[in-house]
Amino acid sequence: GAVVSQHPSRVICKSGTSVKIECRSLDFQATTMFWYRQFPKQSLMLMATSNEGSKATYEQGVEKDKFLINHASLTLSTLTVTSAHPEDSSFYICSASVSLNTEAFFGQGTRLTVV
């Protein structure tokens, strides 16, 4: 299958700082990228959907000013957690798909710990 690379895999940051997570599709062009959040022993919760070149669409309850998403190219999307707080600590996962009705491939995930 296609490869989606997510970086970093783990990050620890201080409360109040911002952290950026990158999601890259390595061998295909991703028209659409998705960002998920996963709490321990729970399912993936969709945070937002980003289409290349346009603004991200956020799910209800997700603060767009706190979780900034940029999808500047067909191979890269970034999620920036601004002014991070301990409650933002979670496992963040991206996925990417070529187009509608095609499977989404997941990155390895990023374990964010805010101290």
Partner 1 sequence: GENVEQHPSTLSVQEGDSAVIKCTYSDSASNYFPWYKQELGKGPQLIIDIRSNVGEKKDQRIAVTLNKTAKHFSLHITETQPEDSAVYFCAASSNSGGYQKVTFGIGTKLQVIP
Q: Which residues bind partner 1 (CB under 8 A)?
A: 1, 6, 32, 34, 42-44, 46, 49, 51, 57, 93, 95, 97, 100-109, 111
Give the shortest CB-32-to-partner 1 separation in angstroms: 5
Instruction: Identify whether the C-beta of residue 34 lies closer than 8 Å to the C-beta of residue 96.
Output: yes
Rank residues 39 and 63 by Cβ distance to partner 1 and give the closer one.
39
3-state secondary structure of 55: coil
**16/27 with CB nearer partner 1:** 27
CB of 9 to partner 1, least distance (A): 9
Tokens describing residue 38: 């996963």
Identity of the residue, 51 or 82, whose beta carbon is nearer to partner 1 in the bound complex: 51
Please say which residue, 79 or 93, places its beta carbon nearer to partner 1.
Answer: 93
How many other CB atoms sit within 10 Å of the CB of residue 25? 25
What minimum distance in Å lies between the beta carbon of 31 and partner 1? 8
Q: DSSP per residue over 58-108, as a string?
A: EPTT--TTTEEEEEEETTEEEEEE-S--GGG-EEEEEEEESSTTS--EE--
Task: Give the H or E element holding residue 29.
Answer: none
Output the smallest distance, CB 83 to partner 1, in A.
26
